[in-house]
Structure 1
Amino acid sequence: QVSRLAELPSSCSDDDDDDDGGPLCRDPAQEDPGLCRPVPPKPSTFSRCVRYLAFLWNLLFLLLGLLVLALGVWGLLAKASLPGGERGAPLSSDPMLLFVLGGLGASVVSLSGCLGALRASPCLLRFFLGALLAFGGLEVLGGLLLLLARRRLRDGLRDLLLLCLLRYQEDPDLQFLVDEVQRSLQCCGLSSYRDWESNPYFNCSAPGVQACGVPASCCQDPLQSGSVPNAQCGFGVLGLGAAAGTVVHVEGCGAALGAWLRGQAGAIATGAAALVLVEVVGALMALRVLGDV
């Protein structure tokens, strides 16, 4: 038995096994394909730097995704705890659901990139690259739809804004969004301030103190005595006729919002380009790590 052990090549080690169970050759000069395999080359310093950079890059977006996810979950839970929250908007149309889905998707993809770079896992890296490719395809498709169906999208945006007016009191998120738009753009309603007549709470035939009124965000001076918010400044405005222009902004938000979006076209394009650049950089680093595996 001692003689048989002595016949085994000293350049092979039975402790170094890979997925196939074969030993690795320690001395390249004594390699024998029938008994052992060559030791795989060590990654270069540049490859290790790219690997760690890919890990940190994806870790950053993992934290951002978790933050967005936590914000969405917090919004849903906070809304459910409000009085009458069960009568609000259904979950499928809740704006906070976009934060939950967006944060969850970003977290899953970034986590796969982190683990794939850290453990040099081809499976996770391929999943990460596939997800980036899918996101890129959706972004290109969205851009094409924006260019080819602008009129239809404009009509859809108008219907969405009208729906926001109708459900103003039912959803705190929509209420906050509408108030911010009207206050920032100094407008009221969709086409004019009289669009609020379509709201069942502001209609002149509705019971309650809000009947024949508009939200306080429509008022030209929403602060009483210059400092205290006046939530009743829009009460009874729909019954004032031409005199309403001295109390509230009578212009609608549709045209003002369209003009604002056209003015922000450069910033929107810059943001889209930055998003694509982030995805391209992440994909290139993942491809480099995958090539070294």
Structure 2
Amino acid sequence: MAVEGGMKCVKFLVFFFNFIFWVCGVALIAIGIYVQVALGKALVVSGGSSAGTPVAILVLGVIIFFISFFGCCGAWKESYCMVTTFAVLLSIIFLVEIAAAIAGYVFKDKVRSVLKEGLQEAMNKYEEDPTLTEALDELQRKFKCCGANNYTDWANIKQFQANDTVPRSCCRINTTTCNVHPSPETVYEEGCQESIEAWMKKNILIVAAVALGIAFFEILGIIFACCLMRGIRSGYEVM
């Protein structure tokens, strides 16, 4: 009777942690959308590989979202196969998350260089590529920045070099001459690379906290799923 009660407790714990996984999936989907909205133009400027980051977060959120329902069904039906599949899929996701975290730490300097190269390329193609032009203008307005390192970077771009001007998206004030003979008083002095990096550092703690929370609940979910598998396989009745 004690064993039966214990397994019943495990069964409800699996339900509880699947609800937590469902919340985690929704959280990842929300983070993916937030990153896409907040850094959409920056990702376009940085290149195709970076633009896939929010999509990857969204996909992971959707996968966790559906796996949580799969786990609930397995626990409710007391299906050894479904609970085993749930535990295996959750373990794979956990390992992928660990690998992604390690890769992110190892290649953190690469992200900076990719961002810098992307900004420089967008500046070189300004007014030639409409997509990059629009993305860079919106980026400069959103982050209140100008150029890659600072506003003087535009002096090296051919179409702005001769007239000593910068794009109007660099302007602090809304006048027709603010971008002529730019100065810190008329245009944003800070570079976009520094502004974007500051935004990322500010928000990385939130992402890290969510990731750690998800990893913690995944480990507990795997443990309880394995306990339920053992109970079902041993032939105990789980009510």
Band the TM-score falls in, shorter-chain normalisation: 0.5 to 0.7
Distance 2:12 2:207 in 1: 31
How big is the shift at 1:274? 1.8
Distance 1:112 1:284 in 2: 16
> Sequence identity of aligned pairs in percent?
20
Which residue of 128, 131, 139 corresponds with 1:178?
139
Distance 1:177 1:275 in 2: 33
2:195 equivalent to 1:241: no
Aligned equivalent of 2:13 = 53
C-alpha distance 242-128 of structure 1, shift in aligned 2 (>3 A): same
Which residue of 272, 277, 281 corresponds with 2:216?
277
Aligned equivalent of 2:236 = none
2:106 equivalent to 1:148: yes
Aligned equivalent of 2:68 = 110
CA contact 2:17–2:217 (8 Å) conserved in 1: no
1:57-97 deviation line (CA, Å, top 9, x unaligned): 3235336646839x96xx9xxxxxxxxxxxxx99x957764
Aligned amino acid, residue 105 of structure 2: L
**5+ unaligned residues in a row in structure 2: which ranges?**
37-46, 233-239
1:169-219 deviation line (CA, Å, top 9, x unaligned): 649xx689836850xxx43332223667999xxx659xxxxx95233xx54
Alignment TM-score, normalising by the size of structure 1: 0.53
Q: Could you say what secondary structure the match of 2:188 adopts?
A: coil
C-alpha distance 266-100 of structure 1, shift in aligned 2 (>3 A): closer
Alignment TM-score, normalising by the size of structure 2: 0.63
Aligned amino acid, residue 48 of structure 1: K
1:19-54 deviation line (CA, Å, top 9, x unaligned): xxxxxxxxxxxxxxxxxxxxxx89622322331232
C-alpha distance 111-253 of structure 1, shift in aligned 2 (>3 A): same
Aligned equivalent of 2:86 = 128
1:79-136 deviation line (CA, Å, top 9, x unaligned): xxxxxxxxxx99x957764465234312232222121222122222222222222222
Aligned amino acid, residue 141 of structure 1: A
How big is the shift at 1:252? 0.5
Which residue of 205, 225, 238 corresponds with 1:286?
225
Aligned amino acid, residue 288 of structure 1: C
**5+ unaligned residues in a row in structure 1: which ranges?**
1-40, 76-88, 206-210, 222-232
- Report which of the two structures shows the higher radius of gyration computed on alpha carbons: 1
Higher relative contact order (Cα pairs below 8 Å, separated by 6+ residues): 2
The number of equivalent residue pairs is 209
How big is the shift at 1:277? 0.7
Distance 1:54 1:234 in 2: 62
Aligned amino acid, residue 181 of structure 2: G
Q: Could you say what secondary structure the match of 1:276 adopts?
A: helix
C-alpha distance 164-258 of structure 1, shift in aligned 2 (>3 A): same
CA contact 1:213–1:237 (8 Å) conserved in 2: no
2:90 equivalent to 1:139: no
Point out the structure with the larger strand share. Answer: 1
Point out the structure with the larger helix share. Answer: 2
C-alpha distance 65-272 of structure 1, shift in aligned 2 (>3 A): closer
